[in-house]
Structure 1
């Protein structure tokens, strides 16, 4: 049971890290696209 719990905790941390990285990547791409369009409108 302890080994299963340890594996679950480790998998949970990797899952949480993956979600954070994924959301960060989407946020960066969205901001980059919005900033690029904003710069084009400025010109």
Structure 2
């Protein structure tokens, strides 16, 4: 999950005005936060 988040962050930093980059970055960030909080449960 960390590598996916980092890749989306790179895309976002390359073109922060692109609506798709904004959406994917925000979703990846939220998903990473959720998985980090529930790591003991899901252990991904």
Q: TM-score, normalised by structure 2?
A: 0.49
Paired residues, what number? 25
Output aligned runs, 1:4-43, within 5 Å. 17-38=18-39, 41=40
Greater RCO (Cα-Cα under 8 Å, separation 6 or more): 2
The structural deviation recorded for 1:27 is 0.3
Unaligned segments of structure 1, at least 5 residues: 1-13
RMSD over equivalenced CA pairs, Å: 1.8
The structural deviation recorded for 1:19 is 0.5
Report the structure, 1 or 2, having the larger helix content: 1
